[in-house]
């Protein structure tokens, strides 16, 4: 009988044993390792002075597509904080850019498109993401994995709804009105667009896994703008399609969505092995809503990161205590690291979690 990881290259860290027994991978499989694993969403980035020095004079998307620079930025928080995983430094719109869509990252705003995708003809003009375009991603991941040794790399991609929201709105939006309007007024075009988004993000995830990522996370930043019914009928099948790109690659899959407390029970059928919880819902309640069946990730409130240390410590202890109700727990924030975070606070949180 072949190994369940047989679709992975023989040199993959999960196949050759480098990361298969790491605390993060064990927790993602529902185990409780001796040391509680911890990493932070957006740990590679603006909170670190070494990041600002590395990226000086380089546009965000250019940095993402420079393998040596992307690898260096990915590794910086592992060296500094001693976290239990690196997360690949990139942006969720990178696969969209590689598929030929003109998108830019505007400082202080985020991804912006000169020509939003809003009609059936706009969607028909979208081209598939050709595998060779992902070469810089594969190269960066390979560099990182060689350096990490037994520390796993978390690959990531944007969920189809979040990608579609950027494409339709033309940039970040608080309420995704245009996106939700298209979903209701032209469901066929909507489904075609979300399938395209699922395929480009699925290819992005797959390239990272093939090059050595040991875990992946799908981010759905804007899912909280949807009703439960709309998410279930018009969005969830496309998120499953993104995860389906990894069929045969037995890597643990994390789903993280903002504002999804009332939809948690809809997430396990998507193919997620771990459910990321934002700061709004205590982990013991999240575990109850999921029937105690899946490992959880989260959910330190980033608002505490600027508080006095005694408040930070009490909050982290509370998160860990509530996470003990779940089959396994990966400690993380309830969203990403804010840019003005003192890196020393993150290092102290890692030390505290490991001591617990």
Catalytic residues: 42, 46, 55, 91, 166
Beta-carbon contacts of residue 326 (< 8 Å; ≥ 6 apart): 283, 284, 286, 287, 292, 294, 295, 296
d(CA 281, CA 176): 23
Phi, psi values for residue 297, rounded to 5°: -125, 135
User: Using the 8-state DSSP alphabet, how is residue 127 labeled?
Assistant: P
The phi, psi pair for 20, rounded to 5°, reads: -65, -25
Cα–Cα distance for residue pair 222/239, rounded to 1 Å: 13
Strands 103-106, 110-113: parallel, antiparallel or unpaired by DSSP? antiparallel
Sign of CA pseudo-dihedral 325, 329, 331, 336: negative
Bridge partner list, 103: 113
* Contact assessment for residue 295 and residue 314, using Cβ atoms and an 8 Å cutoff: no
Q: Are 80 and 48 in contact (CB under 8 A)?
A: yes
Closest CA to 191 of 243, 120, 128: 120
Q: CB atoms < 10 A from the CB of 295, how many?
A: 25
Dihedral sign for Cα 259, 129, 103, 155, please.
positive
CA neighbor of 71 nearest in space, from 208, 163, 216, 219: 208
| Contact indicator for 318, 283 with CB cutoff of 8 Å | no
What sign for the dihedral angle of Cα 103, 226, 216, 44?
positive
CA angle 322, 293, 253 (to 5 degrees): 95
């Amino acid at each position: 009988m072949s190994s369940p990881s047989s679709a992975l290259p023989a040199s993959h860290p999960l196949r050759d044993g480098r990361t298969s027994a790491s605390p993060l991978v064990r927790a993602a499989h529902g185990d409780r390792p001796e040391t509680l694993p911890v990493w932070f969403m957006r740990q590679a980035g603006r909170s670190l002075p070494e990041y600002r020095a590395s990226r000086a004079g380089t546009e965000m998307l250019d940095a993402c597509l420079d393998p040596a620079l992307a690898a260096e930025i990915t590794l910086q928080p592992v060296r500094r904080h001693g976290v239990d995983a690196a997360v690949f430094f990139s942006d969720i719109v990178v696969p969209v850019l590689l598929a030929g869509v003109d998108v830019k990252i505007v400082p202080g705003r985020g991804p912006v498109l000169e020509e939003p995708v809003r009609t059936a003809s706009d969607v028909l003009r979208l081209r598939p993401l050709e595998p060779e375009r992902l070469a810089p991603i594969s190269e960066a991941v390979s560099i990182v994995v060689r350096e990490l040794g037994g520390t796993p790399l978390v690959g990531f991609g944007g969920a189809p709804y979040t990608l579609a929201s950027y494409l339709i709105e033309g940039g970040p939006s608080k309420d995704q009105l245009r996106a939700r309007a298209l979903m209701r007024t032209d469901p066929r075009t909507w489904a075609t667009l979300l399938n395209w988004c699922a395929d480009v993000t699925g290819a992005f995830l797959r390239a990272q896994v093939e090059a050595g990522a040991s875990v992946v996370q799908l981010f759905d930043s804007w899912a909280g703008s949807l009703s439960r019914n709309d998410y279930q009928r018009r969005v969830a099948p496309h998120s499953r399609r993104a995860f389906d790109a990894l069929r045969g690659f037995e890597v643990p899959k994390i789903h993280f969505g903002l504002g999804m407390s009332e939809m948690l029970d809809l997430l396990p059928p998507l193919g997620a092995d771990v459910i990321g919880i934002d700061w709004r819902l205590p982990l013991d309640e999240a575990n109850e809503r999921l029937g105690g069946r899946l490992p959880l990730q989260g959910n330190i409130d980033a608002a505490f990161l600027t508080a006095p240390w005694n408040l930070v410590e009490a909050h982290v202890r509370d998160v860990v205590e509530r996470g003990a109700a779940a089959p396994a727990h990966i400690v993380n924030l309830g969203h990403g690291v804010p840019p003005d975070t003192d890196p020393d606070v993150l290092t102290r949180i890692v030390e505290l979690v490991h001591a617990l």
